[in-house]
């Protein structure tokens, strides 16, 4: 006989919001942003779209009035079920009896405001497909825990399998979050418990696991929800290079107190892999309006466009969606409509009031901060060649091959970025795909050959003379390509003769006093505060300051 599919099970979603609370007084109505704590759970349930009935249960008349005014179904909880000793199971079973509810029952506590609609949908899907009678959300604890039986202090037992650093362990401790609790209605009414003998745990992402019990928990929730969301929209591929990627990652690390998202426009596969390794979330850009609608969150939303030139249409679309808009290295027409433009690489264009430009706004990685003094050697022979993450014109391979051919005694080291295509290099050249410290590699070199991006600022921090060949005409317009800043600029790669590169390298290596002068100028041209300046400006914008 054929097995008929299970009839769709309805869901009664109970949001328990009593007036009393021990840890935080009246916490269910405490404001986070401009909304009470209770509203975040109701909004997540509504967005999830899986509940047939959503019920706000409370003993507090002001909470019930607030919910009723906004169209939510309400339930007056009895004094017994609102007492400190009353359990969620008792409340849920009583409501199921009152409504004669036989399908699924869910309890979604307001104290988990970071729980997402996606997690609610996923949990219900797992619950239905698993065959279990109950399910609860949890998070995996990564600390090293011990168990001490009551009255048996000498019989402690480790709750971990091996003593390793907590980020590498496989902990056996799972903590219920209270965000999502599901149970079959008939089982709940007969057993009077939300947790059955056939119970399933559902792990939620760590950033959703907060459960508010104390004022510190409330402060953390406010920080996460009120500080808003910053979206880094970037392009990085073999054509435009990887500078936008590393610039956004640098800023992200300085703004980790905010909710951060990465939106990838025209990016090669190495970009998402790199972002994942840093622990951030990313999304491929499809329709910009739809993407921003999905990524925006309660509170202030800010987008950083690190995609070269923008159009008025895309910036105005972002502003119409109530985003603060910040553009990076943008010479397009869209820059006129951004709230702020930061151009560390380009000269100031006109008298634009919304543009900050020059080396003060160069975001340099922390590894370059406070380097040891640079020794300019009399006999120089060590050359570091690095042309960014993609090197679309293969300038690195070109320079390495011609320089080692002109002088086999040179110590040439080439660092290839993650997006650089396969290339042929001499056996006598040291080639690295990645390095533990670019700062150390630069500091050890007598001369750096690179493209016209932010690597120049990194070399300047280390005081190492730098010889620049631009990848394209746009790079050749960068403001820091001048002798005053200590930079020797040869021109655009395809237009620069091999002989010009060879002669310039030979003359620089052979002239210690010139290299010393260049080093001094480079060090004076840049400081360590660019990332801090940009991050500080973004924080001020998020707070509503000018």
- pLDDT score at 5: 46
> SS3 for 20?
coil
Retrieve residue 391's tokens. 């090197």
Retrieve residue 482's tokens. 């001048």
- CA angle centred on 500, ends 499 and 504, rounded to 5°: 115
> SS3 for 13?
strand
Retrieve residue 361's tokens. 């706004």
Q: What percent of the chain has pLDDT over 70?
A: 94
pLDDT tens figures, 348-401: 665 577 899 888 898 888 888 889 999 999 999 999 999 988 898 999 999 999
CA distances from 545 to 228, 537, 538, 540 (A): 14, 9, 10, 5
* Residue closest to 472 by CA, chosen among 313, 243, 192: 243
* Residue closest to 442 by CA, chosen among 516, 382, 521, 362: 382
Q: Give the residue, 434 or 306, on which the prediction is more confident.
A: 306
pLDDT tens figures, 6-47: 567 999 999 999 987 777 888 999 998 778 999 999 999 999
Q: What's the rounded mean pLDDT across residues 52-64? A: 96
pLDDT band at residue 1 using 50, 70 and 90 as cut-offs: very low
- pLDDT score at 98: 96
Task: Point out the least confidently predicted range of 14-23, 190-199, 287-296.
Answer: 14-23
- pLDDT score at 299: 76
Within a 10 A sphere around the Cβ of 341, how many other Cβ atoms?
A: 26
Strands (E), 392-497: 411-415, 430-432, 447-450, 466-470, 487-492
Secondary structure string (H, E, C) spanning 402-417: HHHHHCCCCEEEEECC
* Residue closest to 447 by CA, chosen among 374, 379, 370, 381: 381
280 vs 272: CA distance, rounded Å: 9
Q: What's the rounded mean pLDDT across residues 483-505? A: 93
pLDDT tens figures, 64-105: 999 999 999 999 999 889 888 889 999 999 999 999 999 999
> SS3 for 454?
coil
- pLDDT score at 374: 94
3-state percent helix, strand, coil for the chain, nearest multiple of 5: 35, 20, 40
pLDDT band at residue 2 using 50, 70 and 90 as cut-offs: very low
pLDDT band at residue 345 using 50, 70 and 90 as cut-offs: confident
- 270: Cβ contacts below 8 Å, ≥ 6 apart: 242, 389, 418, 419
Q: Classify the phi-psi angles of 329: left when phi > 0, otherwise alpha if psi is within -120 to 50, otherwise beta.
A: left
CB 327 within 8 Å of CB 341:
yes
pLDDT band at residue 478 using 50, 70 and 90 as cut-offs: confident
pLDDT band at residue 310 using 50, 70 and 90 as cut-offs: very high
- 12: Cβ contacts below 8 Å, ≥ 6 apart: 51, 52, 53, 55, 95, 96, 99, 101, 103, 104, 105, 106, 185
- pLDDT score at 163: 63
Judged against a pLDDT cut of 70, whether residue 118 lies above it is answered with yes
């Amino acid at each position: 006989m054929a097995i008929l599919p299970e009839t769709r099970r309805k869901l009664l979603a109970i949001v328990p919001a009593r007036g009393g609370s021990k840890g935080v007084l009246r916490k269910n109505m405490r404001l986070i942003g401009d909304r009470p704590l209770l509203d975040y759970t109701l909004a997540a349930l509504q967005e999830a779209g899986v509940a047939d009935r959503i019920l706000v249960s409370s003993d507090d008349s002001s909470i019930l009035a607030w919910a009723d005014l906004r169209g939510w179904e309400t339930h007056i909880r009895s004094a017994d079920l609102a007492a400190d000793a009353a359990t969620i199971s008792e409340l849920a079973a009583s409501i199921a009896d009152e409504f004669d509810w036989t399908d699924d029952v869910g309890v979604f506590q307001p104290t988990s405001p970071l729980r997402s609609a996606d997690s609610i949908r996923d949990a219900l899907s797992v619950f239905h497909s698993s065959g279990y009678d109950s399910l609860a959300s949890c998070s995996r604890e990564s600390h090293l825990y011990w168990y001490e039986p009551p009255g048996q202090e000498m019989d402690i037992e480790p709750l971990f399998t091996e003593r390793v650093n907590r980020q590498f362990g496989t902990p056996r401790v799972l903590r219920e979050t209270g965000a999502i609790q599901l149970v079959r209605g008939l089982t709940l009414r007969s057993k009077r418990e939300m947790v059955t003998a056939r119970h399933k745990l559902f792990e939620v992402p760590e950033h959703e696991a907060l459960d508010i019990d104390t004022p510190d928990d409330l402060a953390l929730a406010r920080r996460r929800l009120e500080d808003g969301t910053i979206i880094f929209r970037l392009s990085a591929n073999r054509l435009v290079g990887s500078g936008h990627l590393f610039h956004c990652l640098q800023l992200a690390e300085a703004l980790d107190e905010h909710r951060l998202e990465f939106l990838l426009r025209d990016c090669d596969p190495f970009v998402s892999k790199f972002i994942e390794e840093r622990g951030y979330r990313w999304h491929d850009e499809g329709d910009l309006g739809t993407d921003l609608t999905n990524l925006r969150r309660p509170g202030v939303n800010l987008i950083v466009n690190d995609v070269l030139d923008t159009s008025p249409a895309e910036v105005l679309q972002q502003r119409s969606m109530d985003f603060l808009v910040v553009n990076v290295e943008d010479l397009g027409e869209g820059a006129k409509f951004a709230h702020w433009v930061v151009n560390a690489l380009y000269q100031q264009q006109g008298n634009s009031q919304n543009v900050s430009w020059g080396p003060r706004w160069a975001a340099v990685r922390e590894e370059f901060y406070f380097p040891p003094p640079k020794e300019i050697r009399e006999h120089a022979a060590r050359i570091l060649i690095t042309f960014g993450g993609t090197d679309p014109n293969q300038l690195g391979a070109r320079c390495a091959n011609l320089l080692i051919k002109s002088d086999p005694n040179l110590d040439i080291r080439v660092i290839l970025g993650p997006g650089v295509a396969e290339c042929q290099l001499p056996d006598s050249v040291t080639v690295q795909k990645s390095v533990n410290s670019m700062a150390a590699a630069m500091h050890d070199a007598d001369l750096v050959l690179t493209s016209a991006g932010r690597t120049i600022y990194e070399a300047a921090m280390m005081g190492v003379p730098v010889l620049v060949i631009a990848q394209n005409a746009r790079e050749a317009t960068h403001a820091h390509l001048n002798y005053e800043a200590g930079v020797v600029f040869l021109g655009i790669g395809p237009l620069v003769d091999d002989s010009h590169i060879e002669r310039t390298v030979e003359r620089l290596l052979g002239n210690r006093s010139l290299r010393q002068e260049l080093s001094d100028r480079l060090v004076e041209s840049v400081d360590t505060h660019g990332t801090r300046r940009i991050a500080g400006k973004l924080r001020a914008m998020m707070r509503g300051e000018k």
